[in-house]
Structure 1
Amino acid sequence: MSEDDAAMLPGERLRRAREEQGLSQEEVSKQLRLSLSYLKALEDDDYSRLPEPTFIKGYLRNYARLMGLPTEELARRFQQEMDSQRDAEHEREQQAAEHAPRRHEWRVPLVVILVVVLAVAVGWWLWPRGEVAPAPVDSPSDLSPRSEQLGDPAPDNPDPALPDDTEPMAPADESMAPSADEGAGPASGADNPAAPEAGQPAGAPRTPARDGGESAVADAAGNTPAATENDSLSLSFSRLCWVRVVDATGATLSQGQRNAGDRLDLQGQAPFRLTVGDAAAVSSVSLNGEAVSLPSQRSGDVVRVTLP
């Protein structure tokens, strides 16, 4: 292998070999049973338009075998390119993480100040305060007119009577004092367990408290809640294919390669998210015993579908 071949990407080497043999992309696509769009993406080394790296290596090996090129050498060159891209992405993330805190250093003191101010405000709000004593009420004697204030001379009688237009003070409100009937009345509902509840007629039997709500009533009747039934998904494969199945709970029911003649029977909760690396490799799909067709049956097409 020359240095130029080692420096070339796999797709560029394959395209050059095809042109040297005088083959068109359409001819190679038919011989490989690979879609024309996938073939163009391989020759352009545009892996973003292709499925997972495992499938890309398989496409490269088949293409290299058709062109007479070393299959493992191209697969290894592809893996080196993927590793370098991953390392470059990791380095960019590290650089972004190193510079990000410097742009936000000023936020730390601000957050501390806000926390201190909030703590002081809460403490001031919850601090106990003394109640203000009510203003003293003037006694009835203070409300009556005094002879000294009116400027009248002191009378000869040392015990003067109240003037005729002065009415005596009304006695205190009798409703404020407890009556004899109230002191002898029956105890309240909290102290007397036999007292009826509010809104319940006297003499009606008390309804016992329910422990557990409707589930307790169902248990008393001997009925148990029905268990949730799972859905079934079955797939059959006519050739090598990569597949992944995830159910509604987010659990991955199956992931990996399946060989020709394999049958995959799964149990889970619908809907199922199905990813197939080669649409033509799936010979049959059934959901809960009913046949289901995929959106595409073309060879090499990656199908992502949700069933049902």
Structure 2
Amino acid sequence: MNEDNTQPQSDEPSVGQILKTHRENANISLAKIASLLKLTESQVQHIENDEYHLLGAKTFVKGYIKNYCRTLNIDSTAILAMLPAFSTSDKPVDMQSFSRRTEKEAHDSRLMTVSYLILAIVIGSSAVWWWQNATPIDEQTNTINANNSFITQQQENTKRLAEAADEVQLDDVEPEQQTNSASQNEQQTIQAAPLNDAQSTSEPTNTDLSTIFMMFNDESWVEIHDANDEKIAFGVKKAGYEMTLTGVAPFSVVLGKHDVVSITLNGEPVDISAFPKNRLAKFKLPLAE
């Protein structure tokens, strides 16, 4: 009789078994109860199998069981009193996994932010470099063209003023003075003739002249002055244009795009590849060694 009385006591259902029985009596599936409790099916199975050590700290286990009882309309006080004592030092497995995932996502987010920042800096630096190297030729060419046009206009105005002044002076001279001036001019011409012959011998001969030949492989701006500072070439030359110039060396040369121009001086090729690209090239011909 004693054995029959003690045996039922040892076979009392556990908390997990009680909850499982109520769930099955309510005809609620494992997936459904897991969805209502916002837990995974494996966590619900751990509760029904009394595997509390796999669920984390005791505080979390009590919370899960309270929600379970509330969902099934069961009094949770008696159920919680049946919980066995277990260590509270265990940390929730799922919480660890979630924490690590959150930390990894935060790390990846910071890494992506730094990567985008570096990419923006590289793109911005490239844009500034391109702007600095692409615009100076056009700007400098336009500035030089404007300055030269202004100087040419000033020279023309000065010439016209001088011609007008000469005409006014000639109109004010009396006929006798004009006659005297004419005779004086004839005498000066006769006296200056021998000097002109002497001076002609000092003028440069063909052997003193140098010849420049230029081939333009692409459109480029050019300006050339000879040793007497006389402008012998100026303007924009189209691709395929060939130009031959003769004058007294040394020549002062300015090229907008020197890398598209081939130059020979007196039949000898001139190497101008050392000048920086995307900049106006200013040099003397022949090149100084």
What TM-score range do you get, normalising by the shorter chain?
0.3 to 0.5
Greater Rg by CA: 2
State the TM-score, normalizing by the size of structure 1.
Answer: 0.31
